[in-house]
């Protein structure tokens, strides 16, 4: 009796199941070609991930860009597959953690962005894709932006990579060198700083990275390899190489996109020249959507709504191409929902390995999608997290928004109707029309899925969140103006014993480094100050950047802002315009309760999500804001006037 797993081809031939006729041999050859991707490989495939920083859905030719030329990516799309519903995360570090671990950032306590010298990073107990592949004989190399912690225990060489060359975080995280007083970022080879790169020096970055990637391929052509090539481009500040500057029709942003395209061409051409193209899977994608508030330096989300920092489609759906000649069908387009979390299990499976049941990961093997065998998602649903908050869920064509969503980094949540919102992404990719009232059964189904996932890894009391990594005595990788190490013990003692300096004599223009500033991380605090100014808009005090707090004048009224992440800021405003000298008291309680009292006016209250999760990394500024803007002001207006009696206290 014929079994389902052993099909007879009698229906295709008059010779029953005979296989010795020319016709049957032809049929079998055709079937072998059809199902070749599902068969075992002669050798484990090489794997290359090309990961771009802040590239939007509409920034390359295969996804509709016209102002910058991307001939190599155009060819890659023609020879491979375009994935049109591929997801990353709203911000840098989360996306990179997802690629490395196959988990949503919320599961592994990577909710936002890491900063230079920060104590936290990707926990070493997490098993990365590099470690999984290394276990089965792969050579591993990381080139470019790491951004999962810059302390030695968090670096790529401690997370499964044989070698590393790159800048360990974003190219805008320049800190002043203690020696030269010039803002720089460190270039690392393995774990050693080999260069301090200033802004203009970044013009060599793409070429430097590309040369390293090409050299790695050449050195390892005889054995399987994993190359994780994560560009700092096209994150601001924009620094295209000299050979590309001024060449596009889209300003310096377009110039840098064209240089990235050149780099992709160098990698693919090297694979072809070495005869490795049919043995190598290459995935090209981005870490999040475009940084829209950067204007012409920020890129385009194409038809999608929102940008970087947002859980609208434009913030997390990214331009993605997959290329493997002879395996991935040429010129294919697949709209199945997939994501960076799916890369680890896919790569390990293709390499002949297995991903154990524990620790739990969220990704699934998407090889059937890549090989053109499926147009269905490998997962039941896709979840959109902003920090630890679950903001939306997608299943097939339907996306259920659970909460108000900001349009992008630095933008507040747009006004939407209260309650849940349902979008039909097949009918309207731009998420403008709420169809929840027409499909209550879909809303109920997706809400149930969201509730289950939120209970598991979301919010403040998740059932299955794993801890972040924590480093003792963190320090920057090179001596900086605000941290100059003497020796390890002295530096650690200096930092651990740092106490808030006296603020009573502080004046506008002063800045106090984080270690010596008032300690407001993970604790309640109160700010009190008397201000004398005739200005209607100005910064009074600002402490932090993407995490921190600020007091400022806004149209003549006093505003108190508490920021927990790039797109999570709560601001309360005094009820009336202030006149003449005025006193201000602003407090954040342990439960997140905010209170603002301006002399002579009724107290105002609000609710943040809690205390600040850590000490702000940037300076405590009086009368200005010298880093990433912590308040809701669009630009910094320095205070012209007097500040007296300034104090920050902890109850």
Q: What are the E-state strand segments in 28-174?
A: 46-52, 81-83, 86-87, 120-121, 139-144, 163-166
Yes or no: say if 524 and 611 are a contact pair by the CB < 8 Å rule.
yes
Residues in the chain: 651
CA torsion 332-365-51-211 (nearest 10°) is -90
Q: Dump the DSSP string for 447-511.
A: HHHHHHHHHHHSSSS-SSPPPPEE-SS---SS-BTTB--SSHHHHHHHHHT--PPP-TT--TT-E
- Other CB atoms closer than 10 Å to residue 590's CB: what's the count? 12
Structure tokens at 366: 């998407």
From the list 92, 103, 382, 621, the catalytic residue is 92
Distance, CA of 306 to CA of 466 (rounded, Å): 30
Burial class (CB in 10 A: 0-12, 13-18, 19+), 233: buried
Cβ-proximal residues to 453 (8 Å cutoff; 6+ apart), any chain: 381, 383, 390, 393
Structure tokens at 437: 């009232």
Distance, CA of 571 to CA of 594 (rounded, Å): 9
Distance, CA of 534 to CA of 12 (rounded, Å): 90
Is 147 catalytic? The answer is yes
From the list 72, 103, 147, 235, the catalytic residue is 147
3-class DSSP string for 79-91: HCEEECCEECCCC
Distance, CA of 293 to CA of 295 (rounded, Å): 5
Distance, CA of 389 to CA of 383 (rounded, Å): 10
3-state DSSP call for residue 440? helix
Distance, CA of 347 to CA of 366 (rounded, Å): 9
| β-strand pairing of 280-286 with 175-176 | unpaired
The residue among 462, 391, 410, 385 whose CA lies nearest residue 98 is 385
Cβ-proximal residues to 381 (8 Å cutoff; 6+ apart), any chain: 393, 394, 395, 446, 449, 453
Burial class (CB in 10 A: 0-12, 13-18, 19+), 502: exposed
Mark residue 419 as left, alpha or beta (left: phi above 0; alpha: psi -120 to 50; beta: remaining): left
Structure tokens at 279: 């043995």
| β-strand pairing of 557-565 with 548-554 | antiparallel
Yes or no: say if 413 and 405 are a contact pair by the CB < 8 Å rule.
yes
Between vectors from CA 143 to CA 72 and to CA 336, what angle results, nearest 5°?
A: 55
Is 92 catalytic? The answer is yes
End-to-end CA gap in the chain: 81
Please, which residues bridge with residue 321 across strands?
A: 82, 284
Distance, CA of 566 to CA of 289 (rounded, Å): 14
Please, which residues bridge with residue 48 across strands?
A: 227, 282
The residue among 622, 626, 615 whose CA lies nearest residue 650 is 615
Report the catalytic residues: 92, 147
């Amino acid at each position: 009796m014929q079994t389902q797993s052993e099909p007879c081809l009698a229906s295709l031939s008059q010779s029953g199941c005979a296989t010795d006729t020319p016709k049957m041999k032809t049929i079998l050859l055709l079937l072998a070609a059809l199902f070749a991707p599902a068969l075992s490989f002669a050798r484990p495939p090489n794997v290359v991930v090309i990961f771009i920083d802040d590239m939007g859905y509409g920034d390359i030719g295969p996804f509709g860009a016209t102002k910058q030329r991307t001939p190599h990516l155009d060819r890659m799309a023609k020879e491979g597959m375009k994935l049109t519903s591929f997801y990353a995360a709203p911000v840098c570090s989360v996306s990179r953690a997802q690629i490395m671990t196959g988990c949503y950032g919320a599961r592994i306590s990577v909710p936002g962005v890491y900063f230079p010298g920060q104590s936290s990073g990707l926990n070493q107990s997490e098993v990365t894709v590099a470690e999984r592949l290394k276990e089965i004989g792969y050579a591993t190399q990381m080139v470019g932006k790491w951004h999962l912690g810059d302390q030695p225990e968090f670096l790529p060489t401690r997370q499964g990579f044989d070698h590393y060359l790159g800048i360990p975080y974003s190219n805008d995280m320049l800190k002043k060198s203690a020696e030269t007083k010039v803002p720089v970022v460190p270039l690392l080879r393995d774990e050693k700083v080999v260069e301090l790169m200033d802004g203009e020096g970044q013009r060599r970055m793409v070429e430097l990275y590309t040369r390293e990637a090409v050299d790695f391929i050449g050195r390892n052509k005889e054995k399987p390899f994993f190359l994780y090539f994560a560009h700092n481009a096209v994150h601001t500040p924009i620094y295209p190489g000299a050979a590309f500057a001024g060449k596009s029709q889209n300003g310096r942003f377009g110039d840098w996109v064209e240089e990235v395209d050149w780099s992709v061409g160098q990698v693919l051409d090297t694979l072809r020249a070495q005869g490795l193209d049919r043995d190598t899977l290459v995935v090209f994608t981005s870490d999040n959507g475009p940084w829209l508030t950067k204007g012409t330096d920020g890129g385009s989300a194409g038809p999608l709504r929102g940008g970087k920092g947002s859980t609208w489609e434009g913030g997390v759906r990214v331009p993605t191409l997959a290329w493997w000649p002879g395996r991935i069908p040429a010129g294919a387009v697949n709209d199945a929902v997939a994501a960076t979390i799916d890369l680890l299990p896919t790569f390990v499976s293709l390499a002949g390995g297995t991903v154990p049941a524990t620790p739990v990961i969220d990704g699934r093997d998407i090889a059937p999608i890549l090989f053109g065998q499926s147009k269905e998602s490998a997962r039941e649903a896709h979840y959109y997290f902003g920090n630890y908050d679950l903001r939306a869920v997608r299943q097939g064509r339907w996306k259920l928004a659970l909460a108000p969503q900001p349009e992008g980094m630095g933008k507040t949540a747009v006004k939407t109707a209260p309650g849940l919102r349902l979008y039909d992404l097949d009918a309207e990719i731009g998420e403008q029309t709420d169809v929840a009232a027409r499909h209550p059964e879909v809303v109920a189904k997706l809400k149930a899925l969201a509730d289950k996932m939120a209970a598991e890894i979301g919010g403040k009391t998740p059932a299955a969140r794993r801890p972040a990594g924590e480093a003792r005595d963190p320090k920057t990788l090179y001596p900086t103006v605000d941290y100059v190490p003497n020796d390890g013990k002295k530096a650690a003692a200096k930092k651990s014993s740092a106490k808030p300096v006296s603020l009573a004599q502080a004046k506008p223009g002063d800045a106090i480094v984080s270690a010596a500033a008032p300690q407001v991380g993970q604790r309640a605090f109160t700010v009190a100050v008397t201000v004398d100014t005739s200005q209607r808009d100005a910064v009074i005090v600002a402490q932090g950047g993407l995490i921190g707090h600020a007091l400022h004048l806004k149209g003549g009224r006093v505003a108190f802002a508490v920021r927990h992440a790039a797109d999570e800021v709560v601001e309360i405003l005094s009820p009336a315009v202030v006149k003449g000298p005025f006193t201000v008291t602003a407090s954040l309680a342990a439960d997140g309760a905010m209170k603002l009292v301006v002399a002579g006016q009724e107290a105002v209250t609000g609710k943040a999500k809690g205390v600040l999760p850590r000490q702000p990394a940037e300076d405590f500024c009086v009368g200005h804001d010298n880093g990433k803007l912590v308040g809701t002001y669009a630009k910094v207006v320095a205070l012209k006037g007097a500040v007296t009696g300034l104090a920050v206290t902890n109850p």
